[in-house]
Each structure stands twice: as C-alpha cells, then as structure tokens.
Amino acid sequence: MHYKKYKTILSAKNGLNLFRGCTHGCIYCDSRSDCYQINHTFEDIEVKANALEIFEQELQRRRKPCMIGTGAMTDPYIQLEPRLKITQGALELIDKYEFGVAVQTKSSRILRDLDVLKSINQKTKAVVEMTLTTYDEDLCKILEPYVSTTRERFETLMKFREAEVPTVVWLSPILPFINDSEENLRGILDYCIQAGVKGILCFGFGVTMRAGNREYFYQQLDKYFPGMKKKYMYAFGENYVCNSPNNDRLMEIFIETCQKHGILWRSEEVFRYLHEFEDRREQLSLF
C-alpha cells in the first residue's frame, strides 16, 4: 500500500471512498477501467492520508445530516482494513455526528462494525449493501477469489437481520455463459428472501466491459474458462453492455419473486431508499 494526500474525502453527492484499488481479485471488476485513472498497480492500495481528519471536517461543514454512501469504487473492507481501521473510524464519526450511512461490501469483515451500525440505525438509518453474484461456492471462489464466499455473505446478512439493520443486495454482474442460469438466480433469491432484504439492485443480467477491465477479464477467462474469451468476443465485440441471452427469462423470475415477497426491485425505488435520510432521534427521546 501507499499513502497519498487529498484535500477532500466526500464527493458532491456524499460518496465516501477511503481507498483506491482493491485486493479482492474479482475477475470482472469495473474499477479497473481506465476511465477511473488509477495510475498505480491496482492491488497496491492507495490510502488517503489523514482521511478521518478531513472526513470529520467535512461532516462538520455539512448544514444538515444526510446519508453517506461508501463502497462504490473500492470495498471499504479490503484486507488492509482490520489493521488500518479507517472504515471503522469513519463509521464512528458518522455515528458521532448523527448522519446516516449505506455501506457496500462483499466482505463479512463488516460484522466487526455491527455495533456502530446498530447505533447509527437507531438514530438515523444504516443500510448494509451486499453484492451477491454466484450461488455455487466453487465458482464463486474463481470469480471473486479473495473475498467472503456467497454463503459467508448470506450468513452476514442474516446477522444484520437479527440486529434489525436493513440490507440491500446488489445482484450484479451476472456473467453470460458462466453464471447466468435459472439455478444460480433462484439460489441467490432464496438467500435474499431468508435474509429479509429490503431491496435488490439488478440492472439486467449481464456484465459491462470497457478499456482496462476488459483486458483483465479476458486474461482470467483464458486462465479459468478456456475458449470463453473467444465466445465473448464473438457475441459482444467491443460492446460496453454485454447482456446474457437468458436476460428476459431471468428478469421475469427476478421481478416475479421480488413482487411475491415484497422486495423492492425497481432501481429508482431502491436508490431512493438508500439516499433518503431518516431522523429517528425524536422517537428515541420518547422512550
């Protein structure tokens, strides 16, 4: 890892990224794309120097509390986090200043911070966003090799359900010709139902590819799925959006299941829920 100085931490839309780069090794990772201008080895994590001091100053300058989102670019629970405790410190500041938070991750390491997330959720709203793509554990270890398996993520969701902290699942990406099966989808949806998730974000069944992440993805296809790169090149060429040929049928199953179990599935509704700040402090004062 290495440190770099930054003047700001929060984006204009209250997004918080404490790191740049990742060590989870997901073969499809969009954050490798050239457009994000990560000008260092992707696995050599760039840590934002004095991140917590800058973050606290920015929270103090906000006129009123809002939802803070973290994990969009780099998972806040990468392998360095247990040692650095930067994500933990950021959540403690969010709790201190009574902001809300939505945390996106693929790691069961988030359970370390269950108590502070419970505290935030009692006063405002804390949402745990967990990515689930691959029901089969062996396949998951190929596609997402250095992170919690899908089963471990499901068990994490269950613990947050017990703690009454709401959860949302990102069902993305689903790789054409690899995990775009009805069996895979139904397995993940069953996990979501058991975990009582509030919503599921699904942008169709497929994957996006552009310069930077396409090259890495194809290298991994050659390594683990001989002949698959050629199949992708024939089917999608240089397309950015690469939809599964099973997209329509899978969407039918997805929507039908979500409606049956009262799970938010329209992307705009899920994002509205994630961004909507809730103030529960007055309710707490009544008890």
pLDDT per position as a tens digit, 109-119: 999 999 999 99
Query: What is the average per-residue pLDDT within 218-228?
Result: 97
pLDDT band at residue 170 under the 50/70/90 scheme: very high
Cβ 100 vs Cβ 68: under 8 Å: yes
| pTM for this entry | 0.95
Residue 102 has pLDDT above 60, yes or no: yes
Q: Which range among 9-13, 115-119, 147-151, 166-170 shows the weakest confidence by mean pLDDT?
A: 9-13
Short-list 95, 263, 83, CA closest to 189: 263
Determine the Cα–Cα distance for residues 37 and 21; give it in Å rounded to an integer: 11
Determine the Cα–Cα distance for residues 86 and 71; give it in Å rounded to an integer: 13
Determine the Cα–Cα distance for residues 209 and 221; give it in Å rounded to an integer: 13
Amino acid in position 268: E
Short-list 14, 9, 95, 109, CA closest to 52: 9
Q: What is the pLDDT of residue 284?
A: 59
**What's the mean pLDDT when you consider all of the chain?**
96
Strands (DSSP E) contained in the chain are 2-5, 15-16, 19-20, 46-49, 67-70, 100-105, 126-131, 167-170, 199-201, 206-208, 241-243
pLDDT per position as a tens digit, 1-60: 999 999 999 999 999 999 999 999 999 999 999 999 999 999 999 999 999 999 999 999
Amino acid in position 171: L
Pairing mode, strands 46-49 and 19-20: antiparallel
pLDDT per position as a tens digit, 71-91: 988 999 999 999 999 999 999
